Structure 1
Amino acid sequence: MFDIIGKRRFFYLFSLLITIPGLIAIAAGPLTDGKAGLQFSIDYTGGTVWEIQFEGQTPSTADVKEVLAQNDLPDSVVAITGAGDNQRVLIRTEQIGLSPDPTPSPSPSPSSSASASPSASASQSGGPSPSASASGSASTSPSPSASPS
């Protein structure tokens, strides 16, 4: 039988040899501003990703970077992916084009009554809700329920 308990110090050392470099790699990313260590993807860093396939010849990364720099995106990362006729340009930039919707402000409506108060309605964008997918044949009036006797 293999004596695992007797060799525990060896297994502790082996575990530390794997764990310590892993922790250094995790800590090196934030300490070096992302230049070393784990490279976080767009999901963690935020930003915009474009994957563009051109008809004909794919432009070089230098050409794409030049156009992006002219449009105030000098820190963009450009890469060519794929091979042959299936080449695509992958562009990663800071977050662009997603400004929040302006919030409507209430405006008082002219009224002849002194007790009338202005009201406002606001809209909120979001995904589909369960009520939006209800069928048109659904009744909006409450259905009668049987009472216990």
Structure 2
Amino acid sequence: MTEPVTTGRRGLFGTLRDIYHERTSFNIVGRSRWWALLSGVLLGGSILALLISGLNLGIDFEGGSQWDVTVQGKTIDIDDVRDALAGTRGEDADILVLTGQQDSVRVQTEELPADERNAITTALADYAGVEEDAVSFVDVGPTWGEQVTRKAVTGLIVMLLLIAAYLSFRFEWRMALAALLAVLHDIVITVGIYAITGFEVTPATVIAFLTILGFSLYDTVVVLDKVKENTPALGAERGDTYSRMVNRSLNQVLMRSINTSLVALLPIVSLLVVGSGVLGAVTLRDFALALFIGIAVGAYSSIFVATPLLAWIKEREPRYAALRERALVYEARSAQP
């Protein structure tokens, strides 16, 4: 059996050079227990955070009232805004400072009657030093929030079903299962991070979740396609197994996966820094934040979750289980003096 190129003790620059030239032999599949442990901890923490803290759903999902007003000539302080709203139902509201070319204040409350809404509008206008007409207001009813939630869940389910159908047709159902489990892994961890940090979940976040599905699958499909390409040659060398063939396939496309992830993450970072931090575009922030978290998790799962899962599932088949048994016997005989 041909000896692989060793990358374990070549040093950082030697390893990076091997990755660039696609001649690595990292034993990723062979260490699948470590990745399973890491993913288990991440999934467990995400589910626990979701059960304890829940998600900070935006007004589009829960319904309520929202005010926006641009403030000029002074630095916005949340405590000052809350003092200005003292005596109104906005005193305990969610207050957000939107920074950009023109700083503004956003106030969100539960759905309120007209007189209480007018009191908050007047207080915000006095704080910002503007006319009441300059304070924008939107009221989202609970029915609208339920519709948005239902459509978001429906879109996610339909997307997963279409993905399963395509991958089963393009590859096989076992590969489709491994890819879907990796996608679910990405979604749960991304949602868990939102539960832990308290980031607001908006419609832009849901759109980003659906985008994450496509990116995560793209990276995974690249690996699966290489596995399918290498499968006919499996068994040509003594001691070869399905897991080893999958590991070789993964190493062959490792550089491509890293490049894809980096190229995707760089413009998202610019969206976060420039779009949100400099221009104050809240929608861009919500979208880019979910994308950044999801793509980072997806890059991890396509390498360390989907591929080891595929090897584990396939080696339950009699053909590949027998191949693994023969490899163990061959290694035992080779080890004898």
Establish whether TM, by shorter chain, passes 0.5.
Answer: no
| TM-score after normalising by structure 2 | 0.23
More relative contact order, 1 or 2 (CA 8 Å, 6+ apart) = 2
Kindly indicate which of the two structures has a greater share of residues assigned to helix.
Answer: 2
Structure 1 or 2, whichever has the larger Rg, is: 1
